[in-house]
């Protein structure tokens, strides 16, 4: 039991009716969602505060510490919180890098509700805001030995600045030349089972007798590097991802025949005879499901490797792109130390009183949140950011920043 704290943050200043002003040493915000108050922020070491979450339940008068899923924002110099819907709270962190200042705390989305059931606790989930329409992640599935890894390696080699591999966890032993953290995170079964229980995985499955799984962190790490995330996972995993909120493209790779698949597996020479037979038995069911389950958007036959690779590039819109010409577009804005926030429909207006604006002119930054996609587990994409210059005597102009 406890009391609602006295917040360091002064809200309702400058005539803004639903924002928070960060001129004070703000370290906590409170946002009401239904009969709960989400208190975000916390421990302040004088220069930065970590972003913890507590929930005050008005009906019971009790404080609850929720399970917090997803990578949370780094400690920052304060933040603003704006209720976007009954599902999520927008957080703008102060003093963060331009690409790391917009976050979403999901409090009642589909994913959060599912996790509440699984974990039996109160749950909230962080999702970082990504500007513009980042390319969708790509899920590549197919039976063992069909050539998924070979095709993915070709993509990584040709498009190193565009494609990033989601490094899975597995309980199987490393093969010769496989490196921990590069090909897989090789993990003890007990550790992986515990992490699964704590909701760290986007999906996991028992495949050919071992546990395999994609951690939320693995997908986020690729998104953070500004690259398109490529996942190599089995059909069960693809089904789980399809059911999640990760908006991806699903591609199934088929062998020309079972005979050819067997020859490739044997020629690879990485499995014991017993393992090869197990993988071939599983392959029949996987091919059946790959073709008929409706999980996959595209099926590619890997008969001739070069042709299959060309078709894969075609599906990903990479055909004809000269890799050396590609440069990620620089984008982003620095949120000034002093700002306040107002929500109007699907726009969030950030009133920036920069130190240079001693002449009374102000700058407005507008976040358009009408086209948001994705969300936890993973990033929230589709955020558009605009600058509206000098509005003391009227608007000078609107510039899209992303
Ligand atoms: N089109 C092809 N023709 C002939 N051999 C191929 C072709 N594609 C891949 N291979 C070979 O088949 C073997 C299996 O390929 P790869 O390891 O990429 O399969 P995989 O689908 O990633 O398997 P796993 O799911 O077990 O990781 C490799 O030795 C690879 O060089
Ligand atoms: N569901 C998941 N399946 C995965 C993941 N990582 C790999 N895999 C699949 O496992 C088999 C066997 O892989 P191998 O490296 O032991 O040959 C293969 O079909 C992969 O696609 C994962 O994170 N989740």
Domains in the chain, CATH or no CATH each: 6-133+330-400 (no CATH), 138-315 (3.40.50.300)
Q: Is 268 a catalytic residue?
A: yes
Mutate to test the pocket of ligand 1, among 149, 257, 310 (most ligand atoms within 8 A of CB): 149
Measured in Å, residue 152 CA sits from the centre of ligand 2 at 13
Question: Between residues 74 and 112, which one has the greater pLDDT?
Answer: 112
Find the helix packing angle between 273-292 and 258-268, rounded to 10°. Answer: 140
Whether 268 lines ligand 1, by a CB cut-off of 6 Å, is yes
CA–CA dist 307, 321 (Å, integer): 17
- pLDDT tens across 149-186, in order? 999 999 999 999 889 999 999 999 999 999 999 999 99
Q: Is 279 a catalytic residue?
A: yes
Question: Which entry of 94, 279, 379, 381 is annotated as an active-site residue?
Answer: 279
Query: What ipTM, to 2 d.p.?
Result: 0.99
Measured in Å, residue 213 CA sits from the centre of ligand 2 at 8
| 286, containing H or E segment | helix 273-292
Measured in Å, residue 221 CA sits from the centre of ligand 1 at 26
Q: What is the pTM of this model?
A: 0.69
What mean pLDDT do residues 251-275 have?
97
**How long a stretch of residues is the chain?**
402
* Cβ atoms < 10 Å from Cβ of 74: 13
Q: What is the mean pLDDT of the chain?
A: 83
Whether 148 lines ligand 1, by a CB cut-off of 6 Å, is yes
Q: Which residue, judged by its Cα, is nearest atom 16 of ligand 1?
A: 147
Closest ligand, as measured to the CA of 237: 2
Q: What residues form DSSP beta bridges with 214? A: 203
- pLDDT tens across 78-100, in order? 888 999 999 999 998 887 777 78
- The atom of ligand 2 lying closest to the CA of 183 is 15
CA–CA dist 87, 171 (Å, integer): 36
Q: Which residue, judged by its Cα, is nearest atom 8 of ligand 1?
A: 147
- pLDDT tens across 103-121, in order? 999 999 999 999 999 999 9
Q: How confident is residue 22, by pLDDT bands cut at 50, 70 and 90? A: very low
């Amino acid at each position: 039991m406890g009391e609602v704290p006295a917040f360091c943050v002064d809200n309702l200043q400058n005539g803004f009716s639903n924002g928070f002003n960060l001129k004070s040493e703000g370290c906590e915000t409170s946002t009401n969602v239904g009969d709960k108050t989400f208190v975000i922020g916390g421990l302040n070491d004088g220069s930065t505060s970590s972003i913890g979450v507590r929930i005050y339940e008005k009906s019971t008068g009790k404080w609850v510490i929720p399970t917090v899923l997803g990578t949370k924002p780094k400690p920052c110099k304060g933040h603003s919180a704006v209720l976007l819907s009954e599902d999520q709270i927008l957080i703008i962190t102060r003093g963060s890098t331009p690409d790391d200042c917009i976050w979403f705390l999901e409090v009642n989305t589909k994913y959060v509700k599912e996790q509440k059931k699984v974990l039996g606790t109160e749950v909230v989930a962080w999702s970082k805001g990504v500007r513009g329409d980042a390319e969708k992640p790509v899920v590549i599935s197919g039976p063992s030995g069909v050539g998924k890894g070979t095709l993915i390696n070709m993509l990584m080699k040709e498009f190193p600045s565009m494609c990033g591999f989601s490094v899975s966890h597995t309980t199987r032993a490393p093969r010769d030349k496989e490196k921990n953290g590069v090909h897989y995170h090789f993990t003890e079964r007990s550790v992986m089972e515990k992490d699964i229980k704590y909701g760290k995985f986007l999906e996991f499955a028992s495949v050919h007798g071992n546990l395999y799984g994609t951690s939320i962190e693995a997908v986020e790490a690729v998104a953070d590097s500004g690259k398109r995330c490529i996942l190599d996972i089995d059909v069960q995993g693809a089904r789980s991802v399809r059911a999640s909120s990760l908006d991806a493209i699903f591609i199934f790779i088929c062998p020309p025949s079972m005979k050819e698949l067997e020859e490739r597996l044997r020629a690879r020479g990485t499995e014991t005879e017993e393992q090869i037979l197990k993988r071939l038995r599983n392959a029949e069911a996987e091919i059946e499901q790959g073709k008929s389950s409706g999980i996959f958007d595209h099926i590619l036959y890997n008969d001739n490797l070069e042709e299959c690779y060309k078709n894969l590039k075609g599906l990903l819109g990479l055909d004809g792109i000269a890799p050396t010409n590609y440069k990620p577009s620089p984008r982003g804005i620095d949120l000034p130390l002093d700002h306040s926030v107002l929500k109007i429909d699907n726009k969030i207006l950030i009133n920036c009183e920069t130190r240079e604006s001693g002449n009374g002119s102000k700058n407005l930054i507008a976040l358009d949140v009408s086209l948001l996609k994705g969300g936890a587990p993973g990033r929230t994409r589709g955020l558009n950011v605009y600058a509206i210059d000098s509005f003391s005597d009227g608007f000078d102009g609107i510039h899209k920043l992303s």
